[in-house]
Amino acid sequence: MQYVDCIVMGGGAAGLMCAASAAKRGKSVWILDHANKVGKKILMSGGGRCNFTNYFIEPENFLSTNPHFCISALSRYTQYDFLELVGKYDLAYHEKTLGQLFCDNKAKDILHILLSECDTSGVVIHTQCHIETLDSCGSQEKNSENVPDDVKPRFILQTSLGEVACHSVVVATGGLSIPTMGATGLGYDVAKQFGLRVKPRYASLVPFTFKDHQHMPLLSMMQSLAGVALPVSVSCQNQSFSEALLFTHKGLSGPAILQISNYWNTGDTVTIDFLPHESLELILQKCQQENDRSELKNILSRYMPKRFVNVWLESHPSLQALTEKSVAQYSKADIQQLVVLFHAWECVPAGTEGYKTAEVTKGGVDTDDVSSKTFEAKKTPGLFFVGEVLDVTGWLGGYNFQWAWASGYCAAQYV
């Protein structure tokens, strides 16, 4: 039977970082991945340019049932530690917006860095490897004489490569999003097998879908705006994000919507300010003072895309009367009606596009059952969980990769 110090299940962002860091400590490390190549999500991330971290990483940018869990790892392996690594490879990168750091060239440059780190430290990567079972070793193997404690096998895996024994197992199998890229629930199954709890999981950082209702043909309205993008401020569950919104054939997308989807639960109302940097009340009052005779839609089109304004006014029958009057004739109540419609428009999404398009899985292995220092299961020495498989979900903007790097690096110090 083969023996390695550490088996890393899953060669994504967290698994590659963990494997390279553990091997640098002198451990023999294998990565087992069932896909035909490792790091597929890195390659498809950030529109092919990988938003690999963010200048402004704070624990508040992460959601978890235990919001304190991420604090320690994020402070022990920071965005600047990752920048030091990319600096070693002279990676050209740029800040796009809100501290988000992207490769100048291609996401494959980040994968190249991780693979080089694995290669130089001696990590062995097995792709297309199927993990059939993972079990604790029997006492006979554990007590094998003349074997130092830190290399005594604690687990045996049955795989398509045969049987492998190891001292530590790192579960880095990620979440459920994009099944076509190799996502599976293996990490959750392993957690349950060893008695760890798993929090409910949801597709997150994901577009919203809508349905038509008799009183409000919401979906039809969004379909006629498909492709229109505008800056908004969107709120739900006391959280707000000011970024771009994109109308789609299924409903709403764009960074603002993906961000708020992290906080959205089925049935929640989402409030959208389509004019976050202006006051419509002041704009209209000014028009009245200046006796501006322009039509409402022309005034609004100075601040928002014309197609949006036209469809929005046509789709809200309550506004019909207003569009027939001149702005000079508007009462306070008329203005208030418009203010609500453009600054505080409310909708209840029917659902999300699901794991097919979600960037992450919210929820996962219960952090109460894992050490925030070592990432080891509290009740199973030698079994570690890192990355997205844990109940830690970052905002859009490089936060999820930083979590993968930080958790992978920290676990590697203890395997």
Interface with ligand FAD by CB under 6 A: which residues?
A: 9-15, 32-35, 38, 40-41, 44-46, 50-51, 131, 172-174, 177-178, 182-184, 186, 359-360, 387-389, 398-401, 404
* Nearest residue (CB) to ligand FAD, 5 versus 33: 33
Q: For residue 379, with 0-12 CB atoms within 10 Å meaning exposed, 13-18 middle and 19 or more buried, which class applies?
A: exposed
Q: How far is the CB of 232 from ligand FAD (least distance, A)?
A: 21
Beta bridge pairs of residue 246: 229, 253
* Nearest residue (CB) to ligand FAD, 103 versus 311: 103
Half-sphere exposure of 262 (CA within 13 A, CB side): 26
Q: How far is the CB of 26 from ligand FAD (least distance, A)?
A: 23
Q: How far is the CB of 36 from ligand FAD (least distance, A)?
A: 9
Which long-range contacts does 42-47 make (Cβ < 8 Å, 24+ apart)?
42/12, 42/13, 42/107, 42/110, 42/111, 42/114, 42/401, 43/107, 43/108, 43/111, 44/107, 44/178, 44/181, 45/107, 45/401, 46/102, 46/103, 46/107, 46/398
* Nearest residue (CB) to ligand FAD, 389 versus 412: 389
Name the residue with the smallest CB distance to ligand FAD. 12
Q: How far is the CB of 234 from ligand FAD (least distance, A)?
A: 20
Q: How far is the CB of 382 from ligand FAD (least distance, A)?
A: 19
* Nearest residue (CB) to ligand FAD, 12 versus 382: 12
DSSP 223-254: HHTTT-EEEEEEEETTEEEEEEEEE-SSEEES
* Dist CA 177 CA 175 (whole Å): 6
CA 78 to chain centre: 18
* Nearest residue (CB) to ligand FAD, 131 versus 287: 131
* Nearest residue (CB) to ligand FAD, 304 versus 404: 404
Q: How far is the CB of 305 from ligand FAD (least distance, A)?
A: 26
Return the number of other C-beta atoms located less than 10 Å from residue 46's C-beta: 21
* Nearest residue (CB) to ligand FAD, 184 versus 288: 184
Q: How far is the CB of 2 from ligand FAD (least distance, A)?
A: 17
Give the alpha-carbon dihedral of 158, 164, 167, 171, to 10 degrees.
-50
Q: How far is the CB of 179 from ligand FAD (least distance, A)?
A: 10
Q: Which residue in the block uniquely carries the two structure tokens 């990319």?
A: 86
* Dist CA 186 CA 209 (whole Å): 28
Reference 239, options 267, 259, 253; nearest CA is 259
* Nearest residue (CB) to ligand FAD, 342 versus 401: 401
* Dist CA 290 CA 395 (whole Å): 44
